[in-house]
Structure 1
Amino acid sequence: MKVVIIEDEWLAQQELMNILAEIDPAIKVVACLKSVTKSVTWLKTHADEYDLLLMDIELSDGQSFEIFEQITIEHPVIFLTAYDEYAIRAFKVNSIDYLLKPIAQQELKNALLKYQKVTKRTTDISLPNLQQLLHSARGIYKDRFMIQIGDTYQSIPVDEIAYFFSDEKTTYAVVHSQQKFLLDQSLNELQTKLDPHQFFRVSRKYIVHIRSIKKVSKYFHSRLKLKLKLAIPEDILISRAKVSAFLEWMDG
């Protein structure tokens, strides 16, 4: 497997190379690129020299999404970033997976296994076929949760959940009838299992369903204030860094 790393921090590049070597010594890093400009230049002339892109989002001269606006990339991508608000946009391009920094070796290994499953299923790597396979590789998102209530179990369809929230390291699902159910998964874990077209991580504490939103208002310091259809005991504020991604998600 021939890999290109697009990452503007030298230490992060070295860490990725070390992790890849530990996962599989046969993996070859053919290039390390630090910027949008250098990436576009290299990828234009070396399209046949790599199999997979490991791509940070925030680069020294812009965001890596700008690369896709300038050239056509027909190879799978694994995004590596410290920011979770770009997940929706990442899956609109050739993304196999979206990993949050610091990168765990097992998470990267799982993403590489996902890539291998995709490539084994076809010899046609044309862009339409690749995108169809990537969509399939991401798997089917959860459509229900099994909840334990005392000595009994109850299955709750995802569509009945208005939002998830965490409190004192405990995670809850709140349904439209305002019932609250305890979950044994963190919001970070839930975020990978929920359909990103239906759910959005609006803050560290909340993941909301699109249909639970009643009103979005401008707030101080370029933030947004979210009002849900259900009454909640506190304001949900969307940080300035998440505003663009949130509005794009709302727009579909």
Structure 2
Amino acid sequence: MKVVIIEDERPAARRLEKLLQIYNDGIEVLEKIPSVKNAIAWLSNNQEPLDLVFMDIQLADGLSFEIFDHVEVPAPVIFTTAYDEYALKAFKVNSIDYLLKPIDIEELTAAIEKWESMTQKSFDERAMVKQISEAMGMLQTNYKSRFIVKVGEHIKSIAIGDIQYFFSREKATFCHATDGRNYLLDHPLEKIEEMLDPQKFYRVNRKYIISMNAFDDIISYSNSRLKVNLKDCDDEVIVSRDRVGDFKKWLDN
């Protein structure tokens, strides 16, 4: 079996290659490709027969689904993804399989065996792309684009792009906008977190959810924590130690 791994995280690509060898040492990994751009180039220029593609959904330069817009993918695809299990269920109803990171040998074995059972049928690249599109549609979340707030006797609508951070204080929840004002919200912070695009907002601790344009500086703090200096904010906002790793990944997104 000849496979290609499209994955931008080198440790994840090496782990997958190792698991494939554990599953069957006859599997040949032709290439480990780190980006959408490189994948398009490799698939365009390589004519070697290919049996299976393992493809991370979110690559450094975009979503891997963009590959299908530029080049024919000549083999079935098993996606690897960091989406949560509930989102993953939406994918699994479509004949293409998806592996939740970190991948384990049992899930990998089940996915390959599923692919092997499908090889008895003719491979249809257009049908696969259609299934991918449908699956992505099931995963798309309608994140909030505006919040309605009350200002005295008036109602005001604030665009999500004008909100720098959300915070809780004395059992109430507020948003801080680019106009420098705080606005009272009707929802608790836990509910607001579910409404926000996680690529644009990150919950650094129990009391604060911040956007990319919310802070002036980030400082190393005691016990491997980070201190975030928020704009127009006198509070000491500390990134919880167990969130520091994910917070750095979010910053590098």
Instruction: State the alpha-carbon separation in 2 of the partners of residues 132 and 226 from structure 1.
Output: 40
Shift in alpha-carbon separation, 1:213–1:92, aligned structure 2, 3 A: farther
Could you say what secondary structure the match of 1:124 adopts? coil
Could you say what secondary structure the match of 1:185 adopts? coil
Is the alpha carbon distance of 1:96 and 1:187 closer, same or farther for their aligned partners in structure 2, counting shifts above 3 Å? same
Once residues 199 and 81 of structure 2 are traced to their aligned partners in structure 1, the CA distance between those partners, rounded to angstroms, is 11
Partner residue in 1 for 2:237: 236
Q: Deviations over 1:62-112 (max 9, x none)?
A: xxxxxxxxxx799xxxxxxxxxxxxxxxx9524354xxxxxxxxxxxxx8x
TM-score (norm 1): 0.52
Which consecutive residues of structure 2, in runs of 5 or more, have no partner in the other structure?
1-18, 25-53, 57-79, 99-128
Distance in structure 2 (CA, Å) of the matches to 1:213 and 1:135 = 33
- Structure 1 CA distance for aligned equivalents of residues 213 and 147 of structure 2: 18
Q: What's 1:164 paired with?
A: 166
Match of 2:219 in 1: 217
How has the CA–CA distance of structure 1 residues 156 and 227 changed in structure 2, closer, same or farther, with 3 Å as cutoff? same
Residue aligning to 1:206: 208
Alignment map for 1:19-168 (pairs within 5 Å): 92-95=81-84, 97=86, 115=89, 123-127=94-98, 129=131, 133-134=135-136, 136-168=138-170
Aligned residues: 152
Paired residue for 2:6? none
The TM-score normalised by the length of structure 2 is: 0.51
- Name the SS of the counterpart of 2:209 in structure 1: strand
2:141 is paired with a residue whose SS is coil
Check 1:212–1:131 CA distance in 2 against 1; reply closer, same or farther (3 A cut).
Answer: farther
Q: State the alpha-carbon separation in 1 of the partners of residues 153 and 146 from structure 2.
A: 19
User: SS of 1:211's equivalent?
Assistant: coil
Please say if 1:250 is aligned against 2:221: no
Please tell me the residue identity of whatever aligns with 1:125. I
Q: Which runs of 5+ in 1 are unaligned?
A: 1-39, 46-71, 75-90, 98-110
Identity of paired residues, percent? 29
Change (3 A) 1:174 1:93: same
The verdict on how the C-alpha distance between 1:119 and 1:239 changes in structure 2, with shifts beyond 3 A counting, is closer
